């Protein structure tokens, strides 16, 4: 890690007169790994969306968001859009909604290269197959010609990762990318993300409700609830010695869920 890549100061997001994100400050260094933890409705996803200019139209966003030294808040939408998919990319929770159902996979993967890097269509198509291979998709020649509904959930999420990493962004934001997957595929996707961000020295912001899951892939975490940060620190410290009662609740819930999933898998294997 070297310099500061992203710095957020006192981010406030208001919707309908209510502060759903209230004074959030965080930073990510070049090549750094930050986890944002919290249950549904804690404000973690809205924080990430506000950083990249994707907050709902009904939201009022204030504070300061500096990326590579440039303040993003208040800049024209077109300028921020040029960063998305290029210098900043996102992997979303459910690829069924983030992928275009009527567009072939190869075109979706190659689109960032054509849009942001001006890569010729034929070269972009070749790059799409290479990206499929890089994220572990079988038979890339078939995958690029397929539509999203013809792939499994795990394969669709790998496609989402390929799209996000196509332009080798400086920052990857992964928003609950394994929630819709079963426990075995979840582990595979997590291992893939760890491998790829290390290979590209990409900074990572990983959003999840699972402290234990995130601690295996990030260096530092912040814990959010009701739009506020309740705890922050090194990932292993927070996971091993949580200070706030809410963090302890999240850890207990994660352990119960992990036990239930493992137990269910074992029972299924016996049938």
> pLDDT tens digits, residue range 192-251?
999 999 999 999 999 998 887 888 899 999 999 999 999 999 999 999 899 999 999 988
Q: pTM of the predicted model, to two decimals?
A: 0.89
pLDDT tops 60 at residue 265:
no
Query: 1-87+173-271 — its CATH code?
Result: 3.40.50.300
Domain boundaries, the chain: 1-87+173-271, 95-166
Q: What's the token pair of residue 209?
A: 């409700």
User: Which tens digit of pLDDT belongs to each residue from 70-103?
Assistant: 999 988 888 898 898 899 999 988 888 889 999 9
> Residue 154 in contact with residue 185, Cβ under 8 Å?
yes
Q: What is the 3-state secondary structure (H, E, C) of 10-79?
A: EEEEEECCEEEEEEEEEEEECCCEEEEECCCCCCHHHHHHHHCCCCCCCEEEEEEEEECCEECCCCCHHH
Q: In the chain, which ranges are continuous DSSP H helix?
A: 44-51, 77-83, 95-98, 105-117, 121-134, 140-143, 153-165, 183-200, 211-215, 235-240, 245-270
User: Could you tell me which of 183, 87, 96, 190 has the C-alpha nearest to residue 136?
Assistant: 190
pLDDT at 257 exceeding the cut of 80: no
pLDDT grade for 2, boundaries at 50, 70 and 90: low
């Amino acid at each position: 890690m070297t310099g500061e890549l992203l710095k957020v100061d006192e981010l406030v997001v208001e919707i309908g007169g209510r502060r759903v994100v209230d004074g959030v400050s965080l930073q990510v260094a070049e090549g750094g790994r930050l986890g944002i933890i919290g249950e549904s409705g804690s404000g973690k996803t809205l924080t990430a969306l506000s950083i990249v200019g994707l907050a709902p139209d009904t939201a009022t966003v204030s504070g300061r968001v500096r990326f590579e030294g440039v303040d993003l808040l208040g800049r024209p939408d077109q300028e921020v859009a040029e960063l998305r998919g290029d210098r900043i990319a996102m992997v979303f929770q459910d690829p069924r909604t983030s992928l275009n159902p009527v567009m072939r996979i190869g075109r979706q993967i190659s689109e960032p290269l054509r849009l942001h890097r001006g890569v010729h269509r034929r070269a972009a198509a070749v790059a799409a197959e290479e990206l499929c291979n890089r994220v572990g998709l079988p038979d890339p020649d078939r995958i690029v010609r397929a539509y999203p509904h013809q792939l499994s959930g795990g394969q669709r999420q790998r496609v989402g990762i390929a799209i996000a990493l196509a332009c080798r962004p400086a920052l990857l934001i992964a928003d609950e990318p394994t929630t819709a997957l079963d426990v075995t595929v979840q582990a595979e996707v997590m291992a893939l993300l760890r491998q790829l961000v290390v290979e590209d020295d990409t900074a990572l912001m990983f959003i999840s409700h699972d402290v234990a899951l995130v601690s295996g892939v990030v260096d530092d975490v912040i814990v959010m609830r009701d739009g506020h940060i309740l705890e922050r620190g090194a990932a292993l410290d927070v996971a091993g010695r949580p200070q706030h009662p809410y963090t302890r609740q999240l850890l207990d819930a994660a352990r119960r869920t992990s036990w239930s999933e493992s137990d269910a898998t074992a029972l299924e294997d016996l049938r």
